[in-house]
Structure 1
Amino acid sequence: MESSEQKPSIPVGISACLLGQKVRFDGGHKQSRYCLNVLSDCFEFISFCPEVAIGLPIPREPIRLVGDADAPRVVGTKDPSMDVTDKLHAYAEEVFESHKELCGYVLMKGSPSCGMERVKIYHENGMPNISGRGAYAARLMDLHPALPVEEEGRLHDPILRENFITRVFVYYEWQRSVMEQPTLHKVIQFHSRHKYQLMAHSYEGYRELGKYLATDAPKAPLEEVLNTYILRLMEHLTKRANRKSHTNVLMHIMGYLKRDIDSETKQDLLDAIDQYRTSKVNLTVPLALLKHYLKRHGSDYIKSQAYLDPYPHELGLRNYI
């Protein structure tokens, strides 16, 4: 993890309207202050507006999803003969091929092109049917299932926000530390550094991927290992960590100090962890205490765990979980 003086600049895709660009059907925007004022310190936002990219004007006739819930078409609300589904899919394929550098993507909620979920799908007669994904977003996520994706509106939820940003930083490190010159050894090193971070999200995933790397990966082609590992890791990390799972990880990390701290210090740590478990304090309290003693007594292995510093502390994400 870079220090606060060397913040990363992680390439992240974003719906152009969220950056204040006036590209919406009505000529307006949906500027996100959080993305612009906070996340821009760490993310290098690359903006996309698929509707404009496929040639629709500003302003323009609104479009919507119509038809089958599994494969809706994107058509004009006034002129249903205007079908832009294939163009939106093709643009998603173009973005996927030409922007391999992306380590995350922030989408506009409810958009028939960019919505990640719960986008209204209509019957042919104009009545609401069910909900699904925007056509562009759906195709991009199908092509790139490991890419961390979130809707801007959901970033106002502290747990969802922390989960998404964690995944972006994990994927960024994967791209830098493993994929530039991949080897099985680098995958194992990466996994070793992220073991407790994975445990906080999914104990099952922690056990599954550890077993996979120990038994199946050495016998499989490297490309297969790379694809399997990162996809499974990112799937497990989408599960939301909670106080119970964080408490489990804190106790595991504390185990590395048992032989080096006195009983009074041990009790202080246990009290801080229990205060977190019972919702009396936030996660930063027991973590700060643990990191203080790990700095003095911890092994290189435990001090290198990504869980301890998954992203710049200036983001303040753990102040709310």
Structure 2
Amino acid sequence: MTINVGISACVLGDKVRFDGGHKQNRFVIDELAQYMHFKPVCPEVGIGMPVPRPAIRLLQLPSGEERLVDTKNHEIDHTDKMIAFAEKKISQFDDLCGYVVCAKSPTCGMERVKLHIANNNTVPGGAVGIYTKTLMAKMPWLPIEEDGRLNDPVLRENFVFRVFALNDFYKSVRDNLSIDAFVKFHSRYKLVLMAHSPKAYKSMGPLVANIKDWDLDEFYQVYRQQFMDAIKERASRKNKTNVLMHLQGYFKRSLTKEQKQELNALILSYKEGNQPLLVPLTMIKHYMREYPDPYLQIQTFIDPYPEELKLRYGL
């Protein structure tokens, strides 16, 4: 499996930072690189800046406009060139299923990038890097995450899951655009939607049910955005418990009274935070092998990505 993912070149280990260094991320290199093909981009090098180079920053003008300028000489302004580069580069990204950006960078940061004002103070809350801001505007469905936030097990799992899900969507639907492809894809992700966004779970069912009333190309755009927005919401313990209980219901006629009690106890233990998700899921998967069910066997929630990534160990 090869999934195309964009990445800030310094996060991949390229020595392209302003000081000639890098910010290589070991999780990206050691784990994700086994499944993803990374396409590195350094926007600053992309617009012709050398390595090493003078530091740059985001500056908020009195009008509120944000500009990308030289730290020491605000008259040196890279904004227009950076936006032009970003728009051209992003136009080549149709095959991307995700993007890992460099935190705090005035070009690549995703949030809370220092935004300076003329007196050298900073604006509370910061801003988004110029390049990443353009990327997010042009591709609002794309999973984007900062290198530092990948150290958080919940954020890490959610990002990687979204990358695999978008890749699945492209392989299943984009490459075979049909009503049947949409229906089958949506059926496989029903429990995922239940876990991530019960609201989207309820609203997207009727959307798919009325697919015949849509132009397929238009439906593709609408469905992709709604689906990706829904799974961007982190699946809460409460929602995942509801999914586990829903799964449990499929075995009510197959399990003994003692087996039902044991599975229910594991689900409640997970609900109370005493067990990771993997514990009740492992038992459910065991029962799925003993008592196969066609609907459960296609549910992506059960195995959303390779278990070798060990992303559910801390959930």
Q: TM-score range by the shorter chain?
A: over 0.9
Q: Could you say which residue in structure 1 is the equivalent of 2:29?
A: 36
- Report the Cα offset of residue 95 of structure 1: 2.1
Q: CA RMSD in A?
A: 1.3
Give 3-state SS (helix, strand or coil) of 1:209's partner.
helix
Q: Could you say which residue in structure 2 is the equivalent of 1:134?
A: 129
Q: Could you say which residue in structure 1 is the equivalent of 2:89?
A: 95
Of 248, 253, 257, the residue aligned with 1:263 is 257
Of 59, 83, 86, the residue aligned with 1:66 is 59
Of 252, 277, 284, the residue aligned with 1:283 is 277
TM-score with structure 1 setting the length: 0.95
Q: How does 1:1-321 map to 2 (within 5 A)?
A: 8-67=1-60, 71-130=65-124, 131-215=126-210, 217-321=211-315
Would the alpha carbon gap of residues 139 and 262 (structure 1) be closer, same or farther in structure 2, given more than 3 Å must change?
same
Q: Which ranges of 4 or more aligned residues in structure 1 deviate by more than 6 Å?
A: none
Would the alpha carbon gap of residues 78 and 89 (structure 1) be closer, same or farther in structure 2, given more than 3 Å must change?
same
Give 3-state SS (helix, strand or coil) of 1:129's partner.
coil
> C-alpha deviations, 1:272-315, integer Å up to 9, x for none?
11111111110110000001101221321111100000000001
> C-alpha deviations, 1:215-250, integer Å up to 9, x for none?
3x3212111111111101111111111211110111
Distance 2:286 2:81 in 1: 54
> C-alpha deviations, 1:188-217, integer Å up to 9, x for none?
1111101101111110111111121113x3
Asked if structure 2 preserves the Cα contact closer than 8 Å seen for 1:167 and 1:234, the reply is yes
Asked if structure 2 preserves the Cα contact closer than 8 Å seen for 1:155 and 1:161, the reply is yes
Distance 2:95 2:83 in 1: 20
- Report the Cα offset of residue 183 of structure 1: 1.2
- AA aligned to 2:157 is E
Give 3-state SS (helix, strand or coil) of 1:132's partner.
coil
Distance 1:226 1:295 in 2: 35
- Report the Cα offset of residue 104 of structure 1: 0.3
- Report the Cα offset of residue 124 of structure 1: 2.3
Distance 2:254 2:64 in 1: 58
Paired residues, number: 313
TM-score with structure 2 setting the length: 0.96
Q: Which runs of 5+ in 1 are unaligned?
A: 1-7
Deviates more, 1:135-144 or 1:261-270: 261-270
Asked if structure 2 preserves the Cα contact closer than 8 Å seen for 1:256 and 1:298, the reply is no
Would the alpha carbon gap of residues 160 and 66 (structure 1) be closer, same or farther in structure 2, given more than 3 Å must change?
same
Distance 1:72 1:144 in 2: 21
- AA aligned to 2:106 is P
Identity over the aligned pairs, expressed in percent?
44
- Report the Cα offset of residue 78 of structure 1: 1.2
Distance 1:201 1:302 in 2: 18
- Report the Cα offset of residue 71 of structure 1: 4.2
Give 3-state SS (helix, strand or coil) of 2:58's partner.
strand
Distance 1:230 1:164 in 2: 16
- Report the Cα offset of residue 72 of structure 1: 1.0
Distance 1:80 1:188 in 2: 54
Would the alpha carbon gap of residues 211 and 123 (structure 1) be closer, same or farther in structure 2, given more than 3 Å must change?
same
Q: Which runs of 5+ in 2 are unaligned?
A: none
Distance 2:47 2:188 in 1: 42
Distance 1:222 1:87 in 2: 37
Distance 2:194 2:165 in 1: 14
